[in-house]
Amino acid sequence: MPQNLLDLDLEGLTAWFGELGEKPFRARQVFHWMHQSGVADFAQMTDIAKSLREKLQQHATIQAPAISYAHASADGTRKWLFDVGVANGIETVFIPEDDRGTLCVSSQVGCALECTFCSTGRQGFNRNLTVAEIIGQLWVAQHSLKHEPNRTTGEISERPVSNVVMMGMGEPLANFENVVTALGIMLDDHAYGLSRRRVTVSTSGLVPAMDRLAERCPVALAVSLHAPNDALRDQIVPINKKYPLRELMAACRRYLAHAPRDFITFEYVMLAGVNDRAEHARQLIELTRDVPCKFNLIPFNPFPESGYEKPRAESIRVFRQILQDAGYVVTTRKTRGGDIDAACGQLAGKVADKSGRVLKRMHKEAA
C-alpha cells in the first residue's frame, strides 16, 4: 500500500526516503512542495529528478481527507465536512478576522469524554484521526483559501491560516502521538512555520498528557474548565471525576514553566441557570488565584435536544465584570458561523459510534 506522505513529519519523511536509497535533501524538497506549495501531484515537483518522481508515484501518495461539502457563513466563516471513511465525517472551521485567520481543527471522530453541553460528545466516538487526517485539514484550508481577498482589507495572503486551535471534534490529548506529530509539522519552518504562540491545544483536563505535552511540544494551552467546583464539574465534564480540579490546577502551573505564553486560557461555556451565576464567578477567582490565566467566556450555542439554554446577556455581563474587577483579562467569544452550525460546541460531523453511548442514552431517555 502506498505511503501517505502527509502522515510523516520531516524526520519521518527523511527516514522513509533513506529506505528508498534517497538523500535527506530530497525529503526536504518534497516536504516543501507538499506543505508550502500545496502540491499533491509528484509530476508537478519540477526540481526533482524524473526518475525519483516516477519512484514516488509507485510507492507514495499525498492524500488529504476528501471534502464532502463546504459551507460559507454570511460572516465569512467557512466549514468543511471531511469524509474519513465508513460513514464517518469530521468538521473543520476557518474564522477570518482583520488581523488573523484561525483554523479550528478536529483530532478525533467524535469524542469519548461526554461533556454534556457539547454536540460532538453526543455523537459518540469512533476512532482517533491519523496524522494525515489532522494535518490534511490545515493543508486543504491553507491552499484552498489562498489568493482570496480579506473581507475587510481586501488584501490577499499566501498564508490565510495564521493561527490553529485544536478545538474541533475530539479531545486532542487523547490522540497524543498523532496530534504531537501534526503539531510538529505545523511548527516546522519547512512546512507552515507557525509560532508556538499561534498554535493552541485545548484539553478537558487529561493531566498526565498535559505534562507530556509540556515536555514534547509546548504550544499555547487552553483548558475547557466550564465549572468552578468539583461537584458541578463532575456533572458536566465527567473527566473531572478522574482528574479533579486540584490536580488540574497543579498541572496548569507545571505547564506554564514550558509554555510559550505566560498564561493559561480557561474556556468557560456559560449555561443558563447552571454555571452562570455571580457566586460561580467568585468561586472561579478562588480556584485560579495561583494560576496566571485569562478567561474566554463562551455563551452556550444551542443544538437540538441539548437540554441547555443560552444565558441572558445581563448574566454574562455581571459574570464578566466580577472577573475583571478581580484583575483578570476576560473575553466573551463572539458567535461566528452560527448560521452553518460552525459555532463553538456545535460541531457534530458524522460518527459511526463504536462506544455504544448513543444507544445507551436513547434507552435511558426512553425509559
Least Cα distance to 141 among 221, 35, 13, 32 occurs for: 35
Percent of the chain whose predicted confidence (pLDDT) is above 70: 90
Percent of the chain whose predicted confidence (pLDDT) is above 90: 77
Asked which of 46, 61, 76 is the last residue of a domain, the reply is 61
User: Do 85 and 32 reside in the same domain of the chain?
Assistant: no
User: Do 20 and 163 reside in the same domain of the chain?
Assistant: no
Least Cα distance to 250 among 302, 291, 199 occurs for: 291
pLDDT of res. 44: 97
User: Do 209 and 281 reside in the same domain of the chain?
Assistant: yes
pLDDT of res. 129: 98
Q: What distances in angstroms separate CA 360 from CA 80, 184, 307, 349, 350, one per listed residue? A: 29, 38, 17, 20, 18
User: Do 124 and 219 reside in the same domain of the chain?
Assistant: yes
pLDDT in tens, 168-181: 999 999 999 999 99
Amino acid at 223: V
pLDDT of res. 98: 83
CATH code for position 50: 1.10.150.530
User: How does residue 341 score in pLDDT terms, banded at 50, 70 and 90?
Assistant: low
Average pLDDT over residues 331-342: 63
User: Do 40 and 86 reside in the same domain of the chain?
Assistant: no
Asked which of 40, 61, 82 is the last residue of a domain, the reply is 61
pLDDT of res. 359: 60
pLDDT in tens, 19-35: 999 999 999 999 999 99
pLDDT in tens, 125-161: 999 999 999 999 999 999 999 877 666 666 667 779 9
Residue whose entry in the numeric block shows the C-alpha cell 504550544: 219
pLDDT of res. 357: 63
In the predicted structure, residue 365 carries a pLDDT above the cut 90: no
| Residues classed as catalytic | 91, 344
In the predicted structure, residue 328 carries a pLDDT above the cut 90: yes
User: Do 336 and 356 reside in the same domain of the chain?
Assistant: yes
In the predicted structure, residue 215 carries a pLDDT above the cut 50: yes
- Residues 311 and 145: their CA atoms lie apart, in Å, by 35
User: How does residue 193 score in pLDDT terms, banded at 50, 70 and 90?
Assistant: very high
pLDDT of res. 340: 46
pLDDT of res. 305: 77
Contact indicator for 131, 7 with CB cutoff of 8 Å: yes
pLDDT of res. 238: 96
In the predicted structure, residue 330 carries a pLDDT above the cut 90: yes
Asked which of 61, 80, 102 is the last residue of a domain, the reply is 61
pLDDT in tens, 76-111: 899 999 999 988 999 999 999 888 999 999 999 999
User: Do 288 and 167 reside in the same domain of the chain?
Assistant: yes
Domain that holds residue 205: 66-366
- Residues 34 and 21: their CA atoms lie apart, in Å, by 20
User: Do 232 and 262 reside in the same domain of the chain?
Assistant: yes
pLDDT of res. 153: 63
pLDDT in tens, 240-293: 999 999 999 999 999 999 999 999 999 999 999 999 999 999 999 999 999 999
CA 185, 202, 273: angle at the middle one, nearest 5? Answer: 160
User: Do 119 and 8 reside in the same domain of the chain?
Assistant: no
CATH code for position 244: 3.20.20.70
- Residues 134 and 111: their CA atoms lie apart, in Å, by 15
Q: Which of 3-12, 305-314, 339-348 has the lowest mean pLDDT?
A: 339-348
Average pLDDT over residues 354-361: 65
Q: How many CB atoms lie within 10 A of CB 307?
A: 9
How many domains are contained in the chain?
A: 2
pLDDT of res. 72: 86
User: Do 259 and 210 reside in the same domain of the chain?
Assistant: yes
Q: Which of 5-19, 149-163, 343-357 has the lowest mean pLDDT?
A: 343-357
Query: Distance between alpha carbon 344 and the CA centroid of its chain, in Å?
Result: 11
38 conformational bin, left if phi > 0, alpha if psi -120 to 50, beta if neither:
left
User: Do 83 and 218 reside in the same domain of the chain?
Assistant: yes
User: Do 52 and 75 reside in the same domain of the chain?
Assistant: no
